[in-house]
Structures are given as C-alpha cells and as structure tokens.
A and B are shown apart, each in its own frame.
Chain A
Amino acid sequence: MNKPTVTTELSRDLNLFHLTMMGLGMMIGAGVFLGIGNAIHIAGPGGVLLTFALNTLLALFTAMSYAELSSAIPRAGGAYNFARIGFGRGTSFLAGWMEWFASSVAGSTYAITFAIYMVRYLEQLGVLSWLPVATLLVKPVAALIALFFLYINYRGASETGKAGAIMTAGQTLFLIVIGVVGVVVAIRDPSRLQNFQPFLPFGWSRLFVTMGFTYVAFEGFEVIAQAGDEAKEPKKNLPKAMLYSVYIAGLTYVAVAFAAVISVKAGAPGVTGEPWQWIGSFRERGFGEAISRLIPFGNFLLTLAVIFASTSALNATIYSATRASYALGRDRMLPELFARIAKRRKTPWFALLATGLIVLLVVMVLPTMDVASSASLMFLFLFFLVNLCVIKIRLNMSDELQYGYLTPLFPLVPLLAISVQVVLVAELRHMSLIALIVAPIWILAGLLIYMLYSRSRALPSEGEIHILEEDEAPEGNEYRIMVPVANPENALSLVWNTHKIGSSRPSRIKLLHMVPVPDQVALGDAETYMTEGREGIVEAMLYLVQRFPITTTFRYCRNIARGITSAVRERNVDLLIMGWHGKSGDRRFRIGSTLDPVISRAPCNIVIVKGCGSKAFKNVLVPLFGELNDAFALDTAERMVQEKDGAITAMPLRGAARKHRGIWSEERYLERLMRRVEHRPVKVRLKSTPPMDPVKAVLRESKSYDLVVLGLSGSFLRQVGVPTLSEQIARQCSTPLILAKASKGLSALTKRWI
C-alpha cells in the first residue's frame, strides 16, 4: 500500500509593504555605500549618475521577467522554480544550488561589513581601548550577528519581514534625506554643479566597469521571488513589490550619488584637486567623507546607516538562501530533511540550519570579501537564466498559467537584459583568485550531487510530460508524420487521410496518444487513464501497419497541447496531422483549446482535417491568401485529390497579393505559384473571386466542391482573439475542409530551437 503523501506548506504572512522592504533591504545593502566612492573614482562624477540610472532601467528589465514568472508560479524557490518548469531538472538543480550558495555568501559579506563598521564605531567611542587589536573582534561579531538573524528567520516569515522592514525603512529614509539635502544645497549654491565638470573624465567605456560591479546590488527581486509561498495575494503583491523595490532603489541611488558629488565645494579646506577626484581618492570611504561635509554628524550617521543596511541585507539573504535550499528539498533534489517545517513556527528549520552553517563557515574560515565575487557571478547566471525562462515559458505554457503580470515589449525586454548580462559577466573577469577557485568547486560539487543523488530521486514536477509506453524503430530518412489519436470514433478516418497525404513519398508514421491527467489526480496514478486511448491506437495501427512503418507512443501530461508539441520537437517530426470536429467549445479559442496552441508552437508542417471521412475527392477548392501557406495548401490539395479525373481550383482572394506589393505583383505571385504545380499530374486552374467579402465568396463557392483546402496563418492575430480570414471560413464552412500550415522561415527555426 502506498504511503500517504504529506505536503507541508509555509504560512502566508507577508504583505506588499513587507515584500517591498525585503527587496529594498537586499538592494540598499552596504555594497552601495561602499560602491559610490569607487564608481566616482573609476568613471568620474557624471559616470556615477549614469551608472545608477542605466542599471536601474536594466535591472527593471530582469525584475519584470521575475515579476511575470513569480505572478504565474508563486512558489518558494525563485530562479530554481522557473528553471524547473522552463528547462527541466538538471538546469534547475544547478540554479537552485547556485542560488543557495550565492545568497549565503552574500549574507556572510553583510555580516562581515556589519562587524567592521560596528567595531570601528566602538573603537571611536573608546569602548574597545582595553583590546590590543580591535580588528580581532570582527569575525566573532560577524558570527554573532549572523546567529541573531538565523534566529529571527527561525521565528517566522512575519518576524523576518517585520524586522527587515523596520531596518530598511530607516535606512531608506536616511538616504532620501541625503538626496533631498543634496538637491537643496545645489539649488542654493549652483556653483557646486561645476563639480560635474568634466562629466566623464575617462570616457564612456569606463561605464561598463562601474555598471558591472554595481548591477548585482539590484538583486533584491530574487529574495521577493523566494517569498512566493509566504506572500499574501501573491499574484498581485509579488510583481508589484519587485518593480517598486527596484524603482525606489534606483531613484535613491541616483539622488544619493548626486548629493555625494555636490557635497564638496571646490577649494574648501582639506580638499585637494577637483572635488570628484578628492572623493574618489578615498575609494570605499569616499561616500562617507563626502556626506560628512554635507550634513552635520555625516560620518556618524553614515556608520549607523551602513550598520542598518548590512543587517537588513543579512536578514534578507539568509531568508533567500533558506528558501532556495527548502525548494530543493521540497522537490527531493536534496534530502527530504531540507523540506521539514517546524510545527510551531512554520519555518524550514533544517534548510535554515544548513544555510547557517555555510554563512558561519564563510565568515569564520574563508576570506569573505574575496569569496563575495563568486556570488556576483552566480547571481548574474541566475538573472540570465530567468530571462531565458520567461521567453520559453511564455512561448510554451502561456495557455496553462494564470498570470498576474505580463512583461511589456516581450521578447525585446528579456533579450536586452540577456545581452547586457553577457557583457557584465565579462567585466567580472577581474575576480579574486579565491573566488575563481570557490565558484567552480561549488558548481562541480553540485553537478556530482545531481548525478549521484538528485537525478534519480527528484519528484516529477506538475509540468513534466511522462512517456508511459513507447516503441521505437531505427531512424531512417523517411518523411516523419505524427498523428495524435484521441477519439476512437474518428481514428480510422484520420488514418485514411494520413495514408493519402503520406503515400506520395516514403513515410514513417508515429501514432501518439496523449493521456490527459486531471489536476486533482497525482501524475503517478495516470496509468488508469490509458485504456480508452489504447482502443483508438489499436484500430489505427491495424489499418496502417500494412502500408507504413508505424510506431506508437502513449504519454501522459497535464496539458495535451504541450504534450503534442513536446513530442513533435523530440521526434523531429516533419508533418503533424490532427482531426478537428469543426467547432470550439471555448470561445477564447478560434479553432480549439488543443489545436490553437499546437498551431502556434509546433515546429513542423501541420494539417488539420475536418469532416473528410474516408471519401475520395474530385473537385478541390484552394483559396489563396497571398501567404507562405498557399503553396503548402496546394501541395496538400494535390495529395488529397484523385489523380485520374480530379481537379484543383485555385482562387486568389481579392487583395491577397497586396501583401506582396513592392516585391511581387499579383500576377507575378500567381505565376510563381502556378509554376510550382504545372508539371504535377493533377490539373490546377485559376478562378477569380467575385467582388464581394472574401469570406462570403469562399463560402458560396465551396458549395460546388468536395473539399476546401485552406492555408492557415496569422498566429499573432489568433493569440489576441482576432479571427483570421481562414479561421472565419473554416468555422462556417459546411464542406469537408483541410487547414494547412507550413513551417518555414525564421519563426519556424526559432520554434525548433526553443
């Protein structure tokens, strides 16, 4: 008897404010306080503003990808989850594994930053005068603060969110005050704007360097994605929190960088050279030195701000790392222990413990700041992967997921983000030696664990397609035809027509039966749904087996359209033949809920057969739309018509060739089409369209023919709900009908590749 499956879940405590502050807390971490001085040193006074403005927009692009995916798949795991659905187990394990490490190492960095500033502050107060070397305290203090936040995280998401929110709100407010003071000072003393001369003293190329090391500071949306299981109204709050946090962080950075540049007056006591050179000469401390001249007690307040910033970032990173390892445990990529949840606190205690061990190990044993660059590399990899996922998932599963947000200007936005990330990875080539050792060791260890443990134990995800039975014949050069057989009643007529279409060349036929498994049934119990499908397949086989080499496959999945598309891609199918009953039960779909997505996504030629039965056709009408599919429709018509006394009538629709204006005239287009069919055994004659609505013209004409073959196109129009001409005709036509779609051009190549 099967052991009952026990599912565990986290409590939903985090609202929009908590989520935004969690993201913001991770972004306005100590790194930015230290980064501004460095950015001024490398790129100049204008360079620092440009760096943050450009990074805000670019980070927003990746945040939009995260927002779309999190709204549709609101589960703990972030990038790991998206990669699981988009690319399968191997890639997703690596993503989760790297996410766990990168967040843990980032946590260690923040703990060390906190300790450095805290010890220095205590030193300034004279509290540590009894210690010979105060810096010896840094590591123990870092370990203590890490332990404190591990405990806060153990207390629960609400406590974690609230603790982070208070600290983040404090530090953000402080930075906003600095920005406002900067603007006021610039208005009262416009001569300070001269500090921006020269704007880019080292040229534009230095911008890539500064963008490279500050871009990762915008990683906050990752922690928000991790909160998918714990967010209230996740479809709404997760995307909003991601976009708001990047936006607030970006504006704050630009304002604060502006304040830093104008804070020093040229020629003031102690300032040597240009103000920006003077600030830049302090490198990491430059921001502090500048702000101390802008507001009273600037240095002291900044120390406090860094302490707050590092603690809120530490809190957020521990949370993020814990959820990454929890997600791996939940899907049994790591031992089940990682998914154990404390009964009272509802937090993943073992994942937290394991994360704590990594954080403490990096803090106490390794040179933390050197290891930190490896985390940057891994975060960039995750962002890159998420941008790929958003494209792949939108193209393959957009009819299954309930979105709360859609990335605008798709796919331009994720593609732009990907290109920039590739450039920025190149800028990380100056990583420290230790980072170059640690990062590959962690990745190799992950690969080993996956090969030896995770691959065989991972639970199937809801989106996966499983092959129940499949017989395979050795591959040849034949034309590969796939026929999904769903309904035993029309299986025979479907194979009869498949026989006609395939008979003109050596073909190999694969019969496919997709077993749809309802959401409430576990995928493991899907075998019980196989019986009905087998009947149709057996009938079809008996008919076709004497004429063609045939193989069969039974697969089960949640979504039939995706299962068919996936089988087409895996088996490199050349032609997909499907049956259609002639109406769509769901008014959102133009042809049918299974056919519509298959037509848009399957990377092969498609023929859809409606009401053809087992008849022989003599008179076939082919309306021409002036599109790529016309030629394929003519080819298909030729195969369906009787060779001896059959005839095809091609009817160019009014205005169809208008699409070719500029390159082909209407006559030139038709001449080209006719040349293609002139040496064929079947006669093709041209018929002009009467001056009326093309749909009505075809419907009236179709009554005098045995069969109508239509080229099918306009996948974009179909997606947005605008019926194309061919669809309007297909839905209203009472004559037997075939819809043909050719797989050609760039879009076909892209579909095959993706």
Chain B
Amino acid sequence: MLDIVIGVVIIVFCLGAASAFVLYSRRQIHRIALMKRSTYRDIMQNKHE
C-alpha cells in the first residue's frame, strides 16, 4: 500500500512539475518575444525592473 501512495505522489509530482515548467516557459517565451534586445542580461534586468 505504501508503494502505491509513494508511487502516485511521484507520478503526480512529475506531471505537475512538467506542467508548471511548460506553463512558466510559455509565459517566458512570450515575454521575451516582446523585448527589443534579449541577451541574458537584458532578460534578467527586464524581469527585475
């Protein structure tokens, strides 16, 4: 039974984390696409402004 609980938690965690990464990345791609210049420095500075 413990195996099932741990297993289900891992599966939910993996799929949840994958969804979060994809959603975050999508937002980030759209945000960067609006920038005129997008070196690493530009992106980080834009994020903290």
Contacts and interface: CB of A to CB of B under 8 A. Distances in A.
Interface stretch (A145-153, A348-356, A396-404, A651-659): A396-404
A399 B7 contact: no
A24 B25 CA distance: 18
A402 B11 CA distance: 36
A54 B14 contact: yes
A250 B3 contact: no
B39 A401 contact: yes
Contact of A50 (B10, B21, B22): B10
B21 A406 contact: no
Interface stretch (A195-203, A526-534, A679-687): A195-203
Interface stretch (A133-141, A494-502, A718-726): A718-726
Contacts of A46: 3-4, 7
Interface stretch (A115-123, A176-184, A237-245): A237-245
Contact of B14 (A53, A200, A243, A720): A53
Which of A53, A67, A394, A596 has the largest number of chain B CB atoms within 10 A? Answer: A53
A357 interface: no
A408 B24 contact: yes
Interface string A233-257: 0011001100110110011001000
Contacts of B4: 46, 196-197, 199
A404 B29 contact: yes
A60 interface: yes
A243 B21 contact: yes
Given A50-B7, A53-B14, A405-B25, A721 B44 contact: yes
Interface in A212-267: 235-236, 239-240, 243-244, 246-247, 250-251, 254
A588 B33 contact: no
Nearest to A56: B18
B11 A719 contact: no
Given A199-B3, A235-B33, A239-B29, A57 B39 contact: no
Nearest to B47: A720
Contacts of A50: 7, 10-11
Q: Which of B11, B21, B30, B33 has the most CB of A within 10 A?
A: B21
Interface string A385-400: 0000000001000111
A416 to B, nearest CB: 12
B40 A398 contact: yes
Contacts of B49: 721
A721 B48 CA distance: 8
B33 A236 contact: yes
Nearest to B25: A243
A588 B46 CA distance: 10
B22 A57 contact: no
Contacts of A251: 15
Nearest to B24: A408
Contacts of B37: 402
A243 B17 CA distance: 13
A60 B22 contact: yes
A19 B28 CA distance: 19
Contacts of A306: none
Given A200-B7, A398-B41, A399-B41, A240 B48 contact: no
Given A404-B32, A405-B28, A53 B40 contact: no
B15 A250 contact: yes
A132 to B, nearest CB: 49
B46 to A, nearest CB: 9
B41 A721 contact: yes
B41 to A, nearest CB: 6
Contacts of B38: 235, 402-404
A49 interface: yes
B12 to A, nearest CB: 8
A46 B6 CA distance: 11
B35 to A, nearest CB: 9
Interface of A: 46, 49-50, 53-54, 56-57, 60, 64, 67, 71, 196-200, 235-236, 239-240, 243-244, 246-247, 250-251, 254, 394, 398-406, 408, 588-589, 596, 719-722
Given A56-B15, A398-B41, A408-B24, 12 more contacts: A49-B7, A53-B11, A200-B7, A243-B22, A246-B18, A247-B22, A251-B15, A404-B38, A405-B25, A406-B40, A588-B45, A721-B48
